[in-house]
Structure 1
Amino acid sequence: MQIITSKEYNKYRKSNTCLAIGAFDGLHKGHQLIINEAIKEASENNYPAAVLSFHPHPLEIIPGNPPPPSIVSRRQKISILQEMGVDYYFEQEFNQEFAALRAEEFINEILIGKIRINTVVVGDDFRFAHKNEGNVEILKEMGSLHGYQTKIISQLHASDDRISSTRIRNLLKHGKIKKAKKLLGRPYQMCGKVVHGKKIGRKLGFPTANLKLETNYALPPEGVYAAQVKFDGREYIAAANLGYNPTFNNQDISFEVYILDFEDDLYDKRVCVDIIEFIRDEKDFNTKEELIAQMEQDVLYTRKLLC
């Protein structure tokens, strides 16, 4: 998959592009439905399959509400799109200038003038351009004038409710990991670089990898989780702890993983962690011995669950 930023649109030489457009801030099953339709249309007609999305999140630029926590990082987003079979990813820089574009300007200057669309695929709630004035009706009207197709995809529902990134964030916030996985179509994953911590786990006999997360993730409740760790094309099972380690009076939240049957050095490596199942709440232990005994139980449970 080729990544083309908005500063490089003029380098794109293809035509008849089948383009899915959206924030795609969760790449959940509803988003996947839209993107897969563009891939299907492209495959049937031997056209390029492309996605146009935005970076940073529009709410980081538009005054008002703060941006929501992330379900996927930019790097994860690119990786998932590549795995799905997208040929080109157009990453539109969302800045004040872009936010000021009117609907017809966006269609004429970018979709038609630079990407040269044949087909555009969007969700039924898609809004765009200055003050969200653009909608699916304007896309269809302009398509009739300029000769491109517009495909509107009705969003998926689960349990009689619309699949949305907001819904997934709420599920994660309340610890409903399995329900979030069902709507995502994959385990919830957080990635980051392994950095040096206080090495408390090592002293207790459970050396952990301390992750500096690569984006402001939507966090599940504090506690211990059974997890799968991925790096360098390999996969391991792990017990992950999200929280403050109250036994040691930590002031900052941390995300640490104890990888079972693993002894290599991971410092400075990028690691991704699939959150599989909640094990227990974080607890303040009276002694280190109590903590070690509990950690042994956490590891046994994780091994039984995931091995």
Structure 2
Amino acid sequence: MNVFDLENVKDQNAGIIAFGFFDCIHLGHRQVIQKAVSLAKQHGEPSSVFLFKNNIFPLIGIEKHPIFTFEERLRFIEELQVDNVFYIDADKSFLSLSPQGFLDYLKGRLVIKGFTCGEDFSFGQNGQGKPADLLRAFGNTSAILDLCMSNREKVSSERVKRALSEGDIACAEKLLGRHFTLHRTVAMGRKDGAKMGFPTINFSMDMLRLKKGVYFTEVQLEGKTFRSITNVGEHPTFGDYSCNIETYVLDFAGDLYGKEVALTFLKYHREIRTFAGVDALVAQISQDVNARRDYD
């Protein structure tokens, strides 16, 4: 898959391009993208996705945070067999463009033969641009998709975030249309786990709003899958109230610091608790490990 910065392209053939916010590539997003891929194949054109690289919400005064990084979203899009991604690192001036200004910006850089989007897609300043405007500009080979529904409610990024904030991994999976998986680089931790006989790998939580607690997880690395248990949040037994993601990988020995691994969440297991001492914590972790082994 080719990835282009829109600021650096001119007269690039985008073929059939999918429009949307695409901040977590949930079921609705997937349908829009898959339709673009299908139409592109039918007409012998490349398939493309328009993507914001950054979190645009703070630029318009809204306090929202992404679930996935830009790199993770690229990975999910590539899995859908898209040919090109055209991204922009938006600023306030770009978000202030009128709908026609937005269309002119695209026309000055891309050759668009058709598009796909959801019926609720909007663009330009204050979301004034609508799918009908895209039809007038690029309507030769296009599809405007109905809202994607689940349990009579629109599938949305906010529903995914709500499920994750409640620890409802099964619901998040249903809305995403795939496992909830993070692709992150292992960071240096406090090494408390290693001292207790449970060496862990650590990840930053960034702005992820995941329910704090202990989860059953699995780790994919070097082409293999390992069972794991993951603590999301603080470490109160050690007086550490900073939040991170800390994972103990069962039946693995090796140094993963600085490497990228895939961490898949399977089930919320229990709340974080403060233990009287290290021995009590070790006993609980041993129970957690046994429960994880029995899970699958």
TM-score (norm 1): 0.92
Q: Distance in 2 between matches of 1:281 and 1:156?
A: 33
1:216 corresponds to 2:207:
yes
Q: Which amino acid aligns with 2:116?
A: V
Q: Provide the residue aligned with 2:221 in structure 1.
A: 231
1:65 corresponds to 2:65:
no
Q: Secondary structure at the match of 1:75?
A: helix
Shift of 1:25: 0.6
Q: Secondary structure at the match of 1:90?
A: strand
* 1:1-307 alignment runs, 5 A limit: 1-10=1-10, 13-14=12-13, 17-62=15-60, 64-66=61-63, 68-110=64-106, 112-143=107-138, 148-213=140-205, 215-219=206-210, 221-306=211-296
Shift of 1:121: 0.6
Kept in 1, the 8 Å contact 2:13–2:112? The answer is no
Q: Secondary structure at the match of 1:116?
A: strand
Q: Distance in 2 between matches of 1:136 and 1:269?
A: 42
Q: Distance in 2 between matches of 1:139 and 1:150?
A: 9
Shift of 1:158: 0.8
Kept in 1, the 8 Å contact 2:27–2:148? The answer is yes
**Structure 2 vs 1, CA of residues 13 and 137 (structure 1 numbering), >3 Å: closer, same or farther?**
closer
Shift of 1:207: 0.6
Q: Distance in 1 between matches of 2:135 and 2:3?
A: 27
Residues 38-79 of structure 1: per-residue CA shift (max 9 Å, x gap): 0000011110000001121221322x222x222221111111
Kept in 1, the 8 Å contact 2:16–2:47? The answer is yes
Quick check: 184-193 or 160-169, which moved more?
184-193
Q: Secondary structure at the match of 2:204?
A: strand
Q: Distance in 2 between matches of 1:109 and 1:198?
A: 48
Shift of 1:156: 1.1
Q: Secondary structure at the match of 1:202?
A: helix
Q: Distance in 2 between matches of 1:287 and 1:93?
A: 48
Q: Which amino acid aligns with 1:231?
A: L
Quick check: 287-296 or 164-173, which moved more?
287-296
Q: Distance in 1 between matches of 2:77 and 2:101?
A: 27
Q: Structure 1: 5+ residue runs without aligned partners?
A: none
Q: Distance in 2 between matches of 1:28 and 1:210?
A: 26
Q: Structure 2: 5+ residue runs without aligned partners?
A: none
Q: Secondary structure at the match of 1:14?
A: strand
Structure 1 residue runs of 4 or more that deviate by more than 6 Å after TM superposition: none
Quick check: 187-196 or 128-137, which moved more?
187-196
Q: Distance in 1 between matches of 2:95 and 2:287?
A: 52
Shift of 1:151: 1.5
